[in-house]
Amino acid sequence: MTETTDPHPGDPFGDVLSANAAYADSFVDSGRPGVAGSGLAVLTCMDSRISPLEVLGLVPGDAKILRNAGARVTDDVLRTLVLATYLLGVQRVLVLAHTDCGMTKNTDADVHAKVLAQGVDTRSIDFRTISDQEATLVHDVQRIRSWPFLPPRMPVAGGVYDVRTGRIRIVVDADTPAEETPATAPAR
């Protein structure tokens, strides 16, 4: 929606609130509960081109969607997966990185420099930028598999979504035993 059609000039959220009003007018409550109906949790990037439910042929109510910069497995992702697994029906996890990801195009030092140029020193933040996307996927999938609070045999896979074709390429198969996973990932 462009500013010229915004009926709420000056309201930074006017466009989306207007869109929501239209959405709610035709909204039909599915009546589904808050558990993941397909048993799936997806961890993907915040990239604005990825629509996780559509990409996977799902609809609201089917899956838990976790997002952050780079689809990285952080402490908060692990915390959320424990809740999703034991309380909200999740039985499998897909870590979904993507092509053309900004996190693969910058080092942490690059990010610090770019933000410092805007007057903010971010050097206390570990941005978890990605130097080797496949090695990072192996590392992050293994981090979930080895997290002691999650079921040890829960299927966890890692893939890369191509933002130009819409296709997912699996990099880490769900049935790859943890002990056979290459130990080449970066140590963070």
Question: Site for Zn ion (CB under 5 A): which residue of 36, 40, 43, 101?
Answer: 101
Q: Which is nearer to Zn ion, 49 or 123 (CB)?
A: 49
Q: In what order do the strands lie in the sheet with 40-45?
A: 63-68, 40-45, 92-98, 156-161, 168-172
* CA separation for the pair 35, 37 (Å, rounded): 6
Are 119 and 182 contacting, i.e. CB atoms less than 8 angstroms apart?
Answer: no
- Beta bridge partners of residue 64, listed in sequence order: 41
- 160 touches Zn ion by CB under 5 A: no
What is the smallest separation between the CB atom of 7 and Zn ion, expressed in angstroms? 33
What is the smallest separation between the CB atom of 71 and Zn ion, expressed in angstroms? 7
Question: Site for Zn ion (CB under 5 A): which residue of 43, 45, 66, 156?
Answer: 45
- 140 touches Zn ion by CB under 5 A: no
> Interface residues with Zn ion (CB under 5 A)?
45, 47, 101
